[in-house]
A and B are shown apart, each in its own frame.
Chain A
Amino acid sequence: MTRHEWPLFEVFVRAKRGLNHVHVGSLRAADHQMALHHARDLYTRRNEGVSIWVVRSDDVAASSPGEKEAFFAPSGDKVYRHPTYYSIPDSVPHI
């Protein structure tokens, strides 16, 4: 008998104090519903999370390591893209 493996899912959890969902790991599940349940059991046991997203790993398009230079190096010398010369008003949070 061949053993069929469940597909891989990537898990994103938003922490209580966090503003965005953060990738925390992956797991195997038969479908999205089971993946959500498994994610709850694997990644929020220590009272971390308030929201979970799961995405099929094969639905994630990733940049290739071979293209790293062309993708990321050109921004390395453009310090003027950091808006450090602006003063941020006190009423603007989360920056």
Chain B
Amino acid sequence: MSFDAAYEALTDHDDDARWAYGTGFTDPLAGVDTAVPSGVEPAELAAYCLMLGDDALIMSHRLQQWVTRAPELEDELAIANIALDLLGQARLLLSRAGEVEGAGRDEDALAYLRGESEFRNVRLAEHADADFAHLVARLLAFSAWRLALLDRLTASADPVLAAVAAKGVKEVTYHRDYAAQWVVRLGDGTPLSHERMQAAVDAVLPLTGELYATHEVERRLAEAGVAVDPADLRGEADAVWEQVLRAATLRAAPVPGDVPARAGHTRALGEILAELQVVARSTPGGVW
């Protein structure tokens, strides 16, 4: 066998059975029309992709910070898997934002070279977790909301957003399930775990008001059938919380209304970006 042919066997898909690892991976965007839908302002579509992409990117980074700190090895891997799912969603959405924007910025430029004020994520994504109970409460809030959002986004007039959402629905369904199981276990566990889970719910639920506030970009794109109006998601997310809290023997905490949509950040974002961007900024264009 010549050297040139050495790698051919690795891509021989007629013989999957030999491989211990799975094969047949699929590209979620294969065959999807990438033109901007008519009547849609490219700058607005790019901004919307950044919102959903930044939510996933920043939430993913917070989850990655649990790696080596999770209470059990098995849960550490579960959290890392969830972080990777969200990172994958972020990559597709940031790539789409860069492509639609047409200013030559790719996913890396958008993730690594934007300043704090240019990030459009919700503040819930950047919130630091005081303990594991806070993490699962925040993950439940984030994924109950995002699943309701992605579920509706599968019908988006933008075929790329619809395809990204279709892939994300399956992933986030699992994230929500994972978080809900832990909230129930800890809430309906020992007196100590119940007390700490209740404290986490009391801390996290009041942060969720912003998730259901509609940004003007979201409102205009929702009217065009491209985006989802987050105000429509409240009922579904509330029903999830009600069901989980009842099973967990926990009580709800008030969710403030009237919170401005995606307005500014907490100081935590600066810390996250310092860690996320340090390598890319210290070695611009570095490849290895």
Contacts and interface: CB of A to CB of B under 8 A. Distances in A.
Given A17-B16, A33-B181, A47 B22 contact: yes
Interface string A29-71: 1100110011001100111110000000000000000000000
B17 A37 contact: no
Given A27-B74, A29-B74, A41-B74, A47 B21 contact: yes
B89 to A, nearest CB: 17
Contacts of A33: 181
A29 B181 CA distance: 13
B277 interface: no
A16 B74 contact: no
B178 interface: yes
Q: Output the residue of B24, B25, B72, B178 with the most chain A CB within 10 A.
A: B72
A56 B180 CA distance: 24
B22 A48 contact: yes
Contacts of A27: 74
Nearest to B185: A30
Using C-beta atoms within 8 Å of the partner chain, give the interface range for chain A. 10 to 19
Contacts of B21: 46-48
B43 to A, nearest CB: 37
A42 B178 contact: no
Contacts of A30: 185
B207 interface: no
B22 A28 contact: no
Contacts of A15: 22
Contacts of A46: 21-22
B81 interface: yes
Interface of B: 16-17, 20-25, 72-75, 77-78, 81, 178, 181, 185
Interface of A: 6, 15-17, 27-30, 33-34, 37-38, 41-42, 45-49
